[in-house]
Every structure is written in structure tokens, then in C-alpha cells.
Structure 1
């Protein structure tokens, strides 16, 4: 029995209790949920529905709980129901009902964990979005892991998700980048505010291969700008793809200007009544919607501001049919939240249409000491560095394992260690260990069969593992709802721990010449189900599930 099925039974038993007690069923929720109690002695699942509804119905919560418990106890699959405190329901399933989940997981395969909690939403998820002036640095690499995992989690929860990368191939940063390439080609020092390092020399050499006469052109810097940006961005795309991070759309800010979308956005905002002029400049009155000051859209010299492009880009997304826009930004962009949310409201959108997630810093450690980086000096710690240091799997797992709003000290020594204190190794080893058990079973001719007797799964470790397996869909749904894919990683570690304890205490295969029993076969179903869930959890993080280690 899944938690969702049990929750439906709890609600049905509550409806029957309301009818028996002549209470108004209109106060009942459309759906309810059950939770695993912290102490296993309190049963398999708990519900507070009596406490939630008794006061609204004008009755005593414990009296209501007693009636619900009476109804639930007569339900198939429920062994007993205890009432705790003022009306908590502590529910214990019988072994057969609890063990059914293994068969359902095996049958579902790689779709187990999928849910419909975000069905009907069309989401634009923008992340990384680094301008092509150098390799993807460590902060953006974090978004590459977290953003890609979040896209997977939301898709698994029924949402239609478009992963999008927004970039700008113009502006002062690009000017400094192209000037740096030109200086490198001439053998001159890096210009002030320019970029240095080996990658500048590499890009310069590649530009000169494509354009041997670049230095003789009428505008050499323009040649290096166009070719250099193309080469740098091609490298960024390739590196992200090799990292397992995929984008559906690469959107260039220049297109907004070329298509007149900035004018269209201002016109829309003007119709909403939020545009005003002051000292020759055009402004959006964002203070109406809680911003700390109004924001300029066009300067007195006629130049557009970056915020004007933000407005046009937002409107472009909305007109492409997205009902929810999620943007991931670095720690230095915290001040953007107020103005961006105010802009969304100025367009007439409801709160929640736009979500801005701020990621915190990543500190890469070696021998306990932080590695320093400077993009301008060329000492960039980026995607290649972290992948070469710990590998793609460990990098993706490590960066997605923590809440994005907390900083990370990522210790290279820990994440390359083949031991249980390395979280990704711990989870992958559990999957490989299971694959080994299933291979041994096949080699010995032990077949789990087409079905199994779930009632024999009565061991405490079996119960713990089965309950953990049953939680996976709700973990995925919660990770999607809260935009926290790290919950999947932490769940995978808990599941791996439950499996290791199970295998330590519960012999899966017969010994020697013993004939396989119903218990051996049932445990093989549990083992196969655990393999499925571990593989599915790792897949949501973009991490491989090895068969051998």
C-alpha cells in the first residue's frame, strides 16, 4: 500500500465517521496526507486529520479520532490504529499491504516516482546564463547541476519545462573580452578591466586560425569580438553538454533589440499606467509594487538600460505561453529580486508567476585550503577544473546535494574518496551492491518469479526499507514544489542506508544447496525495487547508477 492509497483510505474513513456522528462533511478537505512518525514504535504512518477537522465540525477531536480509527481498523491492509494525545492517528499496516509496494515499483520501472503535482504548468526555467567572456566558473557550474536537476524533478512531477540559457554578446564585458583577445594577438599586456589567462591565448589562436588577416582588418577588434564570442560560446555549450546539462533554448538579448521588443514592453507597461518621464529619462514606477525605488528604462541620451531588456525578456517569455517563470541567479544578484517582482506585477501578473532563486557561493577546497579564482586574472575555477578533480558524477551530486541558498565548502579529497563518507560513492555503491545480488541470483538460478507473498516480509529492516521506498514519489513532488532537488539526493542517501542495514540483517539468497523459499523470492522483489528507486533518484540528479564498482 502506498502512502497516497493509505491517505485516501484515511479520508474515506473520516467521511464515514462524519456521517456516523452527524457532522457536516463540508469542512473536510478534498485530500489529505499521511506521514511517517519519527519513532517507528508509533506505527508505520500517522495522520492528524481528526485534529484538523474536529473544531470546524464542532466536535471533540479525540472522539472523532476514535470513530475514524474504528472505521480504519476494518479496512483491508490496516493491522491496527492507535490514538495518541488529543487525536493523532498512528496507523500500522499488515505485512502484506506494506510489502505490496515492491511489486508496484518493479512494474513501474523508470516511471516510479513520477507524479502529477505540477501537471498543467508550463515552466520556463532559466539558469547558468553566463556571458561568453570565459569558461563557466564554479558558481555557474553549481547552477548547471542544480538547474538541470530541478528541470528533471519538475518534469517528473508533470510540468512542461523549457530549460533556457540567456546571454548577451554585446556590452562592456564583451568589449573588454574582445580587447583582451586583440591585445593577446598583438603580444600586448592585458588591457585594464580585460581578461587574462591561458584560455584567452587559446581563443586568440583559434580566431587567428579562422581569420589569418584579422590584425589587418579595418576593425580588428570587431573581428575578434564576433569570432571570439562564437568560439567561447561554442566551448561553453560543449562543456555543459559534457556535464550532462541540456538547454532547450539559447536566447540572445540582441534579439530583443532587433525585434523591437523593448519598445513593445514599454508600450505594454505604459498602457498599464506605470511609465513616467523625469529629466528626459523614461522610468517604470516599481515602487507601486514594493520596490525600494523606481527604475529607469531609457536614459536621457536615448540608450536602453539593462532593466528595459529584463522587462522585454520577461514579456517575451510570457507571450511564449509560460505561466511560471523560474530564474536562477548568483549570490551577487540578491538586489534584483525586488525590482523583478515589481516588474512582474506591473505587467499585471499575479504573485508567484515569477520566482527568483538565489544561489550561494561554492568554495573549492584541497587539503583543507580554499582554491582562489579570478576570472580577469585568468585563474578561473570552472567546470573543467571540478570535473577533472572529482568527475562528472561527483561534481553534479556534490553541487545538487545542498540547498541552493546555502554556501558549499566542496572538499576535493572527500569527493574522490572510495568510502562511505563520500555521499555519491555511498549511494552508487548501494546500487552496484544490489546489481551484484541480482547477478548472483541469476547465476544460481534463483528467480523471483512473476509474483511474491508479501505477507512474509515481517522483519523490521524489511519494513523500514519498504516504507522508505514508498516515500519516493512524495519526495520528488516536494522537491519540485519547493524547487529543492537536494531533497532527492538526501533521500537517496537515506534509502542507501536502509538498504545496507537490510542486507546486513536479512539474508536474500539461500545458502549452499538450500532451495529458494517464499521469503527469498519476496526479498528479491524488495532488492529489485530498491535498485529501481536508487537508479531513478540518481537519474533525477543526472548521475549514473553503476552496475559494478
Structure 2
């Protein structure tokens, strides 16, 4: 019995009790939850449904709890029910009902943890979207890991997800990039406000290799723009693919200006009255959605402001059928929350069609010192630097396992160790250990069995209950857009498995005859291994069979 199934049983029982006693069933909360008590001596699960329902139902919490305990006792799957404190109910599951979770995992396999609550959502998930003017830095790398994991989590719960990268290939930053390439090609210093770093010289040399006469071409800057930007795009795509992050759509901002989409979007808002004219400019009332000031869309010189492209881009997403547009932006983009919601409202959409997730910076430490520079990038530590230090798995896992709301400090010394204080090693080692156990079981002819009622040891129950929580963890991670919850859960599962393994022998010893308990324990181990693999897969991290 999973926590969700137990919650359904508690709700059904509470409905029956209220109905029988002539009380208002509407007093029941929408979410009748059950949770693991901190002290396992109190039971397998606890619920506060009596305390949350009693006042509306017009009865004392302990009275309602008593009626529920009486009704729950003896129900299929319930070994015992007891009142605790002012009206909590502690529940213990029958071993066979609890162990049924193992069978569910084995039957579902890779599908265990999936759901369909987002089956009607068509999601555009835009992340990374770095300017094509240099290598991806640590902030981009964090979004590459978290964004990809969030896409996997949402898809696991039924959403149709399109991962999208928005190339800002229009505007002043591209002009500065081009001037930096030309200066490098001519052997001049980086121009003021330009981009430095060895990569600029490398790309400039590649432009000249492709077009030897580029420096004397009448359209010199356009030659360097076209070839140089494409080369930078290719470099970004290569780094992302090597990091395990691929996109369904690579969208170029420049197309919105070239095909008239920006003009169309602006005119539509003028016609609808959602832009107002003041001081020679056209403004969007972004203060209506909490912005600190209204934003100009068309500047007083008649040129579109940056937000004009955002308006056209949002319209383009909606025209492609997306009913939820998630933007994952850096810590310096808080103002975009109100602006993008205001854009949605201006076009007649629910502002909640837009979600903006803001991620904080990443700091890298080695030997107790923060690393600030990348020789090749010339500015910040890059994605390639981090992967070169610790590998893809450790980089991805360490970037995903913490909430994006907090600044993330990564210790390269810890992430390079093959020890239990390295979180990714700890989780992967649990999977490898289970894989080794499966191989050893096969060598002695031991196969998984179904006598789950024999799994009565406290460590067996703890492992079963932890496995049973996985679908709810994934569902919550999707609902809150927090894939770090999956990583933290996997660490809990790994620790729970290691405690089980230390207390419960799975393989027969010597000439010991194989028993149903051995088979049931092996099935439990197979289920734990499956859940670890499923969870690591949601993070885009490998599940090694040997370490």
C-alpha cells in the first residue's frame, strides 16, 4: 500500500464515519494526507485528518479520531490504529499490504513514479538561453542541469514538454562580439566593452580559415557576424550535448525582427489599447503585474526596446500551442517576472500562463579557495571547466540537488572523491551495490519472490515505505518546479537501503537452503534498484552497475 493508497483509504473511512454519524462530509479537507512520523515507534504513518475536520464538523478532535480509529482497525491492510496527542492517528500497516509496494515497482519498472496529472498541459520550457558571445559559465551550467531535470520531471507526470533555447542574436551584444572578433583577427587589443578570452582568438582564426579574405571584404563585419556567431552557436550546442542537455527548439531572436513579428505584436497592443503613448515613447503597463515601473516598448527614437522582442516571442509560443510558458532566468532578471506576466495579460491571457523561475549564482571552491577565472573564457569558470574537474554526472547532480533559490557553493575536492561525503557517489554506489547483489543472486540461483508478507523486519518496512514515497516525490517536484527534491529523496533511499543491507541478509549463507524470505528480500532489493535508476534518470545522471 503506497502513501497515496493509504490516504484514499483514510478519506473513504472518514467519509463513511461522518455520513454514519450525520455529520457534514464537506468538512473533510481536500487533501487527506498521511506522512511518516519522525519517530518510527509511533507507527508507519500518521494523519491529522481528525484535527483538520473536527471543528467544521462540530465535534471534538479526539472524539472524531476515536471513531476513525475504530473504523480503520481491521480494514484490509491496517494492522493497528491509535490516537496520539490532541487527535493525531498513528497507523501501522499489515506486512503483506505494505510489501505490495514491491510488487507494484516490479510490475511498473521504468514507469514507476510516472503519472498523468499534467496530461493536458503543453509546456514550453525555456532555459539557459545564453547570449552567443562566449562559453557557457557556471550559472548557465546550473540552468542546463536543473532545466533538463525539470523537463524530465514534468514529462514523467504527463506533460508534453518542449525544451527551448532562445538565442539572443540581435542587438548590441552581437555588435560587440563581432568587433572583438575583428580586433583579434587584426591583432589589435579587445575594444572597450568587447569580449576577451582565448576563445575570441580561436573563433577569429576559424573565421579567417573559412574566409581568408574576410578582413578585406567590403562586408567584413557581416562576414565575421555570420560565421563567428554560427561558430559560437556550435560551441554552445556541443558543450550542452556533452553535458547531457539537448533542446527540441533552437529559437533565434533575430527571426522575430526579420519576419515582422515584433512589429505585428506591437501594433496588436496599440490597437487593443494595451500600450500607451507618453514622452514620445510607447509604454506597457507592467506595473499592473507588480513591476516597479512601466516599461517602454518603442523608445522615443522609434526603435524597439528589448521587451518588444519578448512580446513577439511570447505570442509566437502561444501560436505554437503552448498553454504554459516557463522561463528560467538568472538572478539579475527579477524584473522579468512582472514584465512577462504583463505581456501575457496585455494579449488577453491569464498571467499565470507565464512562470518565471529565478536561479541564484554558483561559486566553485578548490583547496578552500574560490575559483573566479577561466583561462579560455577570460571571465568566469565555464561549463567545460566544471565538467573537466569532476565529470558530467557529478556536475549535473551537484547542480540539481539544491534549491535554485539559494546561492550554490560547490567544493571540487568533495565532488572528486569516491567517498560517501560525495552525494552523487553515495547514490550511484547504492545502485552499483544492488546491481552486484543481483549478479550474486543469479550465481546461486536465487530469484525474486512474492511472499511480501514475510518482510516484517523494521529495516524492511523502512525501505518499503521509502520506496513507496517515490511517486509522490516526483509529483511534488513537478508541481513546485523543484527537481532537487528527487535528488534529496535518492540520498534518503540510498541511506535507507544501506541500513537495510546491514541488518537483513539477502543471500543464503554456505549450504543454507533458499527460502521464501530470501526471495522476498531479493524482490525488495530489485525494487530499490529500480527506483534509484528511475530517479537518477530523471536527473539525467547515469546509474552504474559497477563502480
TM-score per shorter chain, which class? over 0.9
Structure 1 unaligned residues grouped into runs of 5+ = none
How far the C-alpha of 1:271 sits from its partner, in A, is: 4.4
**How many Å separate the matches in 2 of 1:178 and 1:452?**
66
Q: Is the 8 A contact 1:281 1:300 kept in 2?
A: yes
> Residue in 1 aligned with 2:520?
522
> Residue in 2 aligned with 1:333?
333
Q: Is the 8 A contact 1:431 1:545 kept in 2?
A: yes
**How many Å separate the matches in 1 of 2:290 and 2:493?**
44
> Residue in 1 aligned with 2:170?
170
> Residue in 1 aligned with 2:208?
208
> Residue in 2 aligned with 1:475?
473
**How many Å separate the matches in 2 of 1:43 and 1:306?**
58
Give a deviation string over 1:16-62, Cα, whole Å, max 9, x none: 10122111223335553311111111211111222222222222222
How far the C-alpha of 1:319 sits from its partner, in A, is: 2.2
- Tell me whether 137-146 or 379-388 shows the greater mean CA deviation: 379-388
For residue 150 of structure 1, give the secondary structure of its aligned residue in structure 2.
helix
> Residue in 1 aligned with 2:406?
406
Give a deviation string over 1:376-415, Cα, whole Å, max 9, x none: 9724411110111000000000100110111111111100
Matched, 1:130 2:152: no
Q: Is the 8 A contact 1:193 1:376 kept in 2?
A: no
> Residue in 2 aligned with 1:444?
444
**How many Å separate the matches in 2 of 1:483 and 1:509?**
41
How far the C-alpha of 1:335 sits from its partner, in A, is: 2.5
When residues 196 and 289 of structure 1 are mapped into structure 2, their CA distance, relative to the original with a 3 A threshold, is closer
Give a deviation string over 1:262-314, Cα, whole Å, max 9, x none: 22322333344321111221111222333221111111221100011111111
Q: What is the root-mean-square deviation in Å for CA atoms of aligned residues?
A: 1.6
**How many Å separate the matches in 2 of 1:220 and 1:533?**
56
For residue 476 of structure 1, give the secondary structure of its aligned residue in structure 2.
helix
- Determine which of 528, 533, 536 is the counterpart of 1:535: 533
For residue 352 of structure 1, give the secondary structure of its aligned residue in structure 2.
helix
**How many Å separate the matches in 1 of 2:289 and 2:246?**
35
When residues 438 and 184 of structure 1 are mapped into structure 2, their CA distance, relative to the original with a 3 A threshold, is same
Give a deviation string over 1:445-493, Cα, whole Å, max 9, x none: 1122xx4211111111111111100000000011111111111110000
Q: Is the 8 A contact 1:203 1:231 kept in 2?
A: yes
Matched ranges for 1:166-205 at <5 A: 166-205=166-205
Give a deviation string over 1:169-202, Cα, whole Å, max 9, x none: 2211111111111111111111111112211121
> Residue in 2 aligned with 1:505?
503
For residue 118 of structure 1, give the secondary structure of its aligned residue in structure 2.
coil
**How many Å separate the matches in 1 of 2:105 and 2:471?**
11
For residue 227 of structure 2, give the secondary structure of its aligned residue in structure 1.
helix
Matched ranges for 1:136-147 at <5 A: 136-147=136-147
> Residue in 1 aligned with 2:356?
356
> Residue in 1 aligned with 2:302?
302
How far the C-alpha of 1:85 sits from its partner, in A, is: 2.2
TM-score by length of 2: 0.97
Q: Is the 8 A contact 1:36 1:45 kept in 2?
A: yes
For residue 22 of structure 1, give the secondary structure of its aligned residue in structure 2.
coil
How far the C-alpha of 1:357 sits from its partner, in A, is: 0.9
Give a deviation string over 1:314-353, Cα, whole Å, max 9, x none: 1221222211111111111123223222333333332422
Q: Is the 8 A contact 1:121 1:159 kept in 2?
A: yes
**How many Å separate the matches in 2 of 1:216 and 1:308?**
35
> Residue in 2 aligned with 1:494?
492
How far the C-alpha of 1:119 sits from its partner, in A, is: 2.6
Q: Is the 8 A contact 1:289 1:346 kept in 2?
A: no
> Residue in 2 aligned with 1:457?
455
Q: Is the 8 A contact 2:374 2:382 kept in 1?
A: no
**How many Å separate the matches in 1 of 2:483 and 2:377?**
34
When residues 259 and 10 of structure 1 are mapped into structure 2, their CA distance, relative to the original with a 3 A threshold, is same
**How many Å separate the matches in 1 of 2:38 and 2:370?**
38
- Tell me whether 270-279 or 393-402 shows the greater mean CA deviation: 270-279
When residues 173 and 90 of structure 1 are mapped into structure 2, their CA distance, relative to the original with a 3 A threshold, is same
Q: Is the 8 A contact 2:149 2:538 kept in 1?
A: yes
When residues 56 and 269 of structure 1 are mapped into structure 2, their CA distance, relative to the original with a 3 A threshold, is farther
For residue 76 of structure 1, give the secondary structure of its aligned residue in structure 2.
coil
Matched, 1:34 2:34: yes
- Tell me whether 341-350 or 482-491 shows the greater mean CA deviation: 341-350
For residue 340 of structure 1, give the secondary structure of its aligned residue in structure 2.
helix
For residue 356 of structure 1, give the secondary structure of its aligned residue in structure 2.
strand
For residue 66 of structure 2, give the secondary structure of its aligned residue in structure 1.
helix
Structure 2 unaligned residues grouped into runs of 5+ = none
**How many Å separate the matches in 1 of 2:379 and 2:359?**
22
**How many Å separate the matches in 1 of 2:181 and 2:187?**
10
Q: Is the 8 A contact 1:80 1:92 kept in 2?
A: yes
**How many Å separate the matches in 2 of 1:28 and 1:350?**
30
**How many Å separate the matches in 2 of 1:183 and 1:157?**
50
> Residue in 2 aligned with 1:268?
268
Q: Is the 8 A contact 2:198 2:375 kept in 1?
A: no
> Residue in 2 aligned with 1:85?
85
For residue 389 of structure 2, give the secondary structure of its aligned residue in structure 1.
helix
Q: Is the 8 A contact 1:269 1:346 kept in 2?
A: yes
- Tell me whether 29-38 or 315-324 shows the greater mean CA deviation: 29-38
When residues 377 and 5 of structure 1 are mapped into structure 2, their CA distance, relative to the original with a 3 A threshold, is closer
**How many Å separate the matches in 2 of 1:402 and 1:314?**
29
> Residue in 1 aligned with 2:291?
291
For residue 352 of structure 2, give the secondary structure of its aligned residue in structure 1.
coil
Matched, 1:14 2:14: yes
Give structure 1 regions of 4+ aligned residues with deviation exceeding 6 angstroms: 374-377
